[in-house]
Amino acid sequence: MNSTTLSSASADRDADRERLRRDATTIGLIGLAHGTSHFHHLLLPPLFPAFIRDFGLSYSELGLLVTVFFVISGIGQALSGFLVDRVGARPVLFGALVSFLAASLAGAAAEGYGGLVLAAALAGLGNAPFHPADFTILNRRVSPGRLGHAFSVHGISGNLGWALAPVFLIGLSGQTGSWRTAYLGSAGVALLVLLVLWWRRRDLDDRMPAQGAAPRAAGASTDEHPMAFLKLPTVWLCFSFFFWTTAALSAVQSFASPALQHLYGLPESITAFVVTGYMLCGAAGMVAGGFLVARVARLERTIAAAMALAGVLLLLAGTGWLPGWGAAAVVALAGVGTGLAGPSRDMLIKRAAPPGATGRVYGTVYSGLDTGFALAAPVFGLLLDRGFDGGIFFGAAAAMLLGIGSAGLVGRRLPGR
CATH number of residue 145's parent domain: 1.20.1250.20
Rounded Cα distance, 336 and 352, in Å: 25
Nearest to 84 by CA among 356, 370, 369, 373: 356
Rounded Cα distance, 215 and 190, in Å: 31
Residue 222 belongs to a domain: no
Q: Which residues lie closer than 8 Å to 334 by C-beta, 6 or more apart? A: 252, 278, 281, 309, 310, 311, 313, 314, 317
Residue 126 belongs to a domain: yes
Rounded Cα distance, 143 and 138, in Å: 9
Residue 179 belongs to a domain: yes
Nearest to 246 by CA among 77, 93, 30: 77
Number of compact structural domains in the chain: 1
Residue 5 belongs to a domain: no
Q: How big is the chain, counted in residues?
A: 417
Q: What residue type is assigned to position 209 of the chain?
A: P
Convert the pLDDT of each residue in 72-107 to its tens digit: 988 888 788 788 878 888 999 999 999 999 999 999
What SS3 class is residue 89? helix
Convert the pLDDT of each residue in 98-147 to its tens digit: 999 999 999 999 999 999 999 999 999 999 988 889 988 998 888 877 88
Kindly state the average pLDDT of the residues 49-59: 87
**pLDDT for 218 beyond 70:** no
Highest averaged pLDDT of the listed ranges 113-127, 240-254, 365-379: 113-127
Residue 404 belongs to a domain: yes
CA distances (Å), origin 92, targets 43, 84, 96: 21, 7, 6
Instruction: Give residue 5's Cα distance to chain centre.
Output: 47
89 with 203: CB under 8 angstroms? no
Rounded Cα distance, 61 and 382, in Å: 9
256 with 401: CB under 8 angstroms? no
Long-range contacts of 275-278, Cβ-Cβ distance < 8 Å, separation of 24 or more: 275/42, 275/46, 275/162, 275/163, 275/166, 276/162, 276/163, 276/164, 276/166, 276/167, 277/163, 277/328, 277/329, 277/331, 277/332, 277/335, 278/252, 278/331, 278/332, 278/334, 278/335
Rounded Cα distance, 133 and 95, in Å: 11
Q: Which residue has the higher pLDDT, 415 or 104?
A: 104
Give the phi and the psi of residue 265 in degrees, each rounded to 5.
Answer: 70, 25
Neighbouring CB atoms inside 10 A of 181's CB total 14
- DSSP tag of 145: G
Q: Please indicate, yes or no, whether the overall pTM of this predicted structure exceeds 0.85.
A: no
Q: Which residue has the higher pLDDT, 401 or 131?
A: 401
Residue 55 belongs to a domain: yes
pLDDT at position 14 is: 66
Residue 86 belongs to a domain: yes
pLDDT at position 284 is: 84
pLDDT at position 98 is: 96
**pLDDT for 182 beyond 90:** yes
353 with 131: CB under 8 angstroms? no
Residue 337 belongs to a domain: yes
Question: Could you tell me the residue range of the domain that residue 82 belongs to?
Answer: 18-205+229-413
Nearest to 275 by CA among 226, 319, 338: 338
